[in-house]
Amino acid sequence: MFSSFRLSMAWLHTWFGLVLGYVLMVCFFFGALSVFDREIDRWAIPETRFQAQPMPSYDTMLAPIFRELRPHPDDMKATAQRVIGEIPNPDTLPLVSLYAYTTHRDPVLAIGGEFAIPNKPRDASDEHQHVHGWATIDPRSGKVLSDDKLKIGSGFFYPMHYSLQLHWLDLGYWIVGLAALVMLAALVSGVVMHRKIFREFFTFRPKKHVQRSALDLHNLTGVVALPFHFFFAFTGLVIFAGIYLPVGETMLRPLAKQHETLEAARTGLPHDPAGVAAPLASVDAMVAEAKRRWAARGMPGEVGLLTIEHLGDRNGYVSVLRAGTDRVTLVGQGVHFEAATGKVIREDPPPTAVSGINDFLAGLHLQHFEHWLLRWFYVLGGLAGCVCIATGFIFFVEKRKKQHAAKGVGGSRAVDALAVTTVTGMLIAAIAMLVLNRVLPAELPQRGEWEEMGFWAAWLIALAHAAWRTAPVRQARIAPAWREQCWAIAALAVAAVLLNWATTGDHLLKTIGKAYWPVAGLDLCLLATAGLAAFAAVKLRRREQRLAPGRAADEPRAADELDDALLPAGAALTIRGTD
């Protein structure tokens, strides 16, 4: 089929990237936003705009809050479909386990728990017979915050990058997993194609014709961020390996249950309740002992996660896990206590070699560490991936649109419309969601659902506009959809900043003056986005005028045409050996 292995890799790289590049674009963009998901939450929920707080006292603050916690209505409905008979009144269900979670970037505290129910499952293999309750509280006062307000960063943008918000049969996870595998193949094939990969590191010619400059930028961002792209695709697959290969829940289910029992016996952490009531000792004293032990091991720190299992039972135990913000490895160094007496049952030992590698890879991907410069490198790496994919789309269209126009084929237009939707349309949807967040009434019921619907509606409108305004591509011209959506991005970004000022009073001078960077940082990023989008729109307009019918076209130089001719029509993304 191909005259050389390199040309076959070029074909593989082109079509793998074209088919699933749209999914990867979503993963990279929302993955980049997820680096600062908690900061986006602060912008979206003004009542949470205060400094991050440590874990509050359990004995004086959290215990009364947990006594008032009730099963969430949504989980009550979902569980009712899986069990036989009617679930008792939620006020009568006992809380049997609980958790409280925070990070160094979280002003608010996430709490939740499981409530036991007497109902039997409809499916005998369904062993989970609990309903859940959860809430977000202000750790300064213990006030419960409204659940109607969507945490746009951690509750929408973050899961978007690994699930596409497609939860039916976990379809989104599988699509993203396939895209990650394809990305690994595209990276390997890209390296094979690039015989002068070192040169690509220093080559960018923005004043060349679009095909050449797009390819230069595609190569540059692909080479510079190659390690970043590889480890993010690989570690993402590692993290979700349990979904893609659920052997513990299928073929090895009996063995997995046996392992749980043996592990409980080995660690001393009871697997099942004893059925005998017992009081709860001072949890604050247990937290103090855990901190003392961490300090004795040379790693003083704050509590990141507090859990209680088998609450009110003789087999109950309390686990205190450290917030590991000072290291990449995702390890909590847990200290576990007997709930009734406060006696230490177990202190987690150092991880084994295998589990240590797994924890390091997970920590590398999830970046819970407290290193702001490195976090910004993560953002730049994600945006470099977006640029690499977007320029790949542009190169594909520019290389073929004249040929397709001559044959009356609409392939280039279809690719261009999808590229516009995925690149600028995705930005429009994300920023429109922020605008809607500032426009909707604060007490609107189901406010978060309205924001989500606004996101999808804005993206659909961008898709319709792209399909309409890419018609000139069929005549081998530039689609005005790019320029027009860039202006839309600029207008929405400025509107989001102004609306934040108008609705909260938190303008940039105020937030920068108080060094409250979660809000100031997002406003500055929005203004930078507006400036870049407006600049791009102006440049695109000038280019459209220069290439208008009747004017000299910006044709590739003869050397470029000769170099392009060395590849078959299907091989698009490859190194160019001549200037």
Tens digit of pLDDT at every position of the chain (579 positions): 567 777 788 778 888 888 889 999 999 999 999 999 999 999 999 999 998 889 999 999 999 999 999 999 999 999 999 899 999 999 999 999 999 999 888 899 999 999 999 998 888 777 778 999 999 999 999 999 887 788 899 999 999 999 999 988 889 999 999 999 989 988 888 877 766 666 666 666 766 677 777 777 787 888 888 888 898 899 899 888 888 887 766 667 777 777 777 888 788 889 889 999 999 999 999 999 999 999 998 888 899 999 999 999 999 999 999 987 877 777 778 999 999 999 999 998 887 888 888 888 888 888 888 888 889 999 999 999 999 999 999 888 888 888 888 888 888 899 999 999 999 999 999 999 999 999 999 888 888 899 999 999 999 999 999 999 998 888 888 899 999 999 999 999 999 999 999 999 999 999 999 999 999 999 999 999 999 999 999 999 988 888 776 554 444 443 343 333 333 333 333 333 333
Residue 250, in any domain of the structure: no
pLDDT value of position 550: 55
Burial class (CB in 10 A: 0-12, 13-18, 19+), 10: buried
Within a domain: 155: no
Q: Distance of CA 99 to CAs 202, 305, 320, Å?
A: 51, 7, 10
Q: Which residues contact 12 (CB under 8 A, 6 or more apart)?
A: 185, 186, 189
CA-based nearest residue to 152, from 498, 518, 530, 532: 518
Q: Which domain-ending residue is among 295, 318, 352?
A: 352
Contacts of 205 (CB under 8 A, 6+ apart): 212, 213, 216
Structural domain count, the chain = 2
Q: Which domain holds residue 91?
A: 51-147+262-352
CA distance 303 to 104: 10
Structure tokens at 504: 């909260």
Of 327, 333, 334, 322, the residue nearest 366 (C-alpha): 327
318 and 270 belong to one structural domain: yes
**Are 447 and 388 members of one domain?**
yes
Residues 316 and 463 reside in one and the same domain: no
The pTM assigned to this predicted structure is 0.86
Q: Which of 325, 352, 379 represents a domain boundary (last residue)?
A: 352
Residues 423 and 554 in one domain: yes
- Asked whether residue 512 is assigned to any structural domain, the reply reads yes
The verdict on 325 and 466 lying in the same domain is no
Q: Could you tell me if residue 257 is inside a domain?
A: no
Do 134 and 87 belong together in one domain?
yes
Residue where one domain finishes, among candidates 299, 318, 352: 352
- In this prediction, residue 186 carries a pLDDT of 86
302: phi then psi, degrees, rounded to nearest 5: -100, 165
Q: Which two tokens stand for residue 98?
A: 């609980």
The pLDDT value given to residue 10: 79
Provide the sign of the torsion angle of the four alpha carbons 370, 518, 390, 533, taken in this order.
Answer: negative
pLDDT for position 534: 97
154 in a domain, yes or no?
no
200 and 89 part of one domain: no
172 with 312, same domain: the answer is: no
Domain membership of residue 476 (yes or no) is: yes
Q: Does residue 579 belong to any structural domain of this protein? A: no
Q: 139 with 170, same domain?
A: no
Q: What is the pLDDT of residue 207?
A: 66
Yes or no: say if 219 and 212 are a contact pair by the CB < 8 Å rule.
Answer: no
CB burial class (10 A; 0-12, 13-18, 19+) of residue 185?
Answer: middle
Residues 314 and 281 reside in one and the same domain: yes
Give the pLDDT confidence score for residue 260 in this predicted structure: 76
In a shared domain, residues 387 and 446 = yes
| Non-local CB neighbours of 281 within 8 Å, separated by 6+ positions | 337, 338, 339, 340, 341, 342
At 336, list the tokens.
């576990």
How is residue 422 annotated by DSSP? H
Annotate 40-60 with three-state secondary structure: HHHHHCHHHCCCCCCCCCHHH
Tell me the three-class secondary structure of 540-574, residue by residue: HHHHHHHCCCCCCCCCCCHHHHHHHHCCCCCCCCC
Residue with structure tokens 């859940």? 132
Q: Determine, yes or no, domain membership for 488.
A: yes
Q: Pick from 341, 328, 203: which is nearest to 278 by CA? A: 341
* pLDDT for the residue 565: 33
User: Do 438 and 527 reside in the same domain of the chain?
Assistant: yes
Torsion angles phi and psi, residue 96, rounded to 5:
-110, -15
Distance CA 235, CA 362 (A): 7
